[in-house]
Homo-oligomer: A and B are copies of this chain.
Amino acid sequence: MNAGRIKLGMLGGGKGAFIGIAHRIAAYMGERYHLIGGAFDVNYELGLEFAKDLELDESRVYPDVEALIENENKLPEEDRMEVVSIVTPNFLHFGMAKRLLESGFHVVCEKPMTMTANEAEILEGLVNSTGKKLCLTHTYTGYPMVRQMKTMIAAGEIGEIQKVDVQYYQGWINPVVHDKELRKTVWRLDPAKSGISSCIGDIGLHGFNLVEYTTGIEINEVLSDLNHLYDDNPLDVDGTVLLRMEGGIKGVLRASQIATGEENNLTIKVYGRKGAFKWGQENPNELTLLKQDEPFQVYKPGHPYNAQFTADSTKMAPGHPEGIFDAMGNLYRGFAKAVRGEKLEEGDYPNVHDGVRGMHFIEKVVKSNKEGNTWVSIL
């Protein structure tokens, strides 16, 4: 039986890949994983070289997921990888995750989890049937003040929710999208690699997840207006989505990759009868609480007034800012608890069901837009 540090493998994330760095740091910082090996690059030689830089055992570097599964499963259980992180482009997630779950591995998967809702449901079925777990890296749920918001909303601090407004604005695709040739070279705008949506699939999805995560309330229906900017651009680069949530709550989700000059401007505002919360990802250590005719309050990490869940998600004393790696580290830490069968908090890590909901969201948003901006049920 396994105990102690969790043996971690990785698919993708080789030399120069931002996302691989993020996952490795996230795994290191909680001191609950050992990175053992993986298939870091489609080019095996490059992957091997990269693994050498990391001083990993060469025998644990594989050309692909199948080789990894075959060889790891030959090893004694106590040596075998237990968790494998998938940090490849979108179109590879499903196949890899499916094979890993089937073959006895827990999975950490970058989002979007799959290319279709159908695939997502297959993975959910596998998680249920195999008992293996899947952590979907909706990283923003790992920020301490997001968790504080979730906890305080659940405790009734702002009363019954009556309006939600979430935004994720980037501008990075702007210099690409206006250049017809350049546009073709970007995988985000290639449906074969990116799926049926660029903007909604990549970042609108985060907004969707953040709303459901913080409020604990499901989004039932969507009406979307997407923007491709050009007729020959196959994917959306901007979109606004009207939301109807359980209990008739209305909301709006705004996402853009053509919001020139914006970086990762993800903000959420949740308005309840008694108060409201506002939070933004680029300054993640401030959570604003509004109440009618009271001075507004700003919560920060590290203080005894925070919930236990928030405290567990913070390593430093107040005033020394933690950042994006710490948020992802909190997901890895939560998943380690799940893998080791420890007591979990509600929301400790985003799971396969969040992935299923997310894929339905993407599909229905695209459908609403295609059908002329009409209301479509998520499920």
Contacts and interface: CB of A to CB of B under 8 A. Distances in A.
A195 B10 CA distance: 48
Interface in A255-287: 256, 258-265, 269, 271-276, 281-285
Given A4-B55, A165-B254, 4 more contacts: A240-B252, A260-B275, A264-B320, A265-B319
A261 B240 contact: no
B300 A295 contact: yes
Nearest to A317: B18
A378 interface: no
Interface of A: 4-5, 18, 21-22, 24-25, 28-29, 31, 34, 53-55, 158, 162-163, 165, 170-172, 174-175, 178, 223, 225, 227, 229, 238, 240, 242, 250, 252, 254, 256, 258-265, 269, 271-276, 281-285, 289-300, 302-305, 315-326, 373, 375
Contacts of A274: 260
B263 A318 contact: yes
Given A55-B4, A261-B276, A225 B238 contact: no
Contact of A273 (B174, B227, B303): B174
Contacts of A229: 162
Query: Assembly of this chain: how many copies?
Result: 4
30 contacts: A4-B55, A5-B55, A22-B315, A28-B28, A29-B29, A29-B325, A162-B258, A162-B260, A163-B259, A165-B254, A171-B290, A175-B292, A223-B223, A227-B250, A238-B250, A252-B254, A260-B272, A261-B275, A261-B276, A261-B290, A263-B300, A263-B317, A263-B318, A263-B320, A264-B318, A264-B320, A289-B295, A294-B303, A320-B323, A320-B324
Nearest to A323: B323
Contact of A28 (B25, B281, B319): B25
Leading 7 A-B pairs by shortest Cβ distance = A263-B319, A261-B290, A264-B319, A323-B323, A28-B28, A295-B297, A263-B318
Give the interface SS of chain A, mostly helix, strand, loop or mixed.
loop
A159 to B, nearest CB: 8
Contacts of A375: 373
A4 B55 CA distance: 8
Contacts of A272: 260
B322 A271 contact: no
B271 A258 contact: yes
A271 B259 contact: yes
Contact of A225 (B223, B262, B303, B317): B223
A324 B316 CA distance: 9
B271 A171 contact: yes
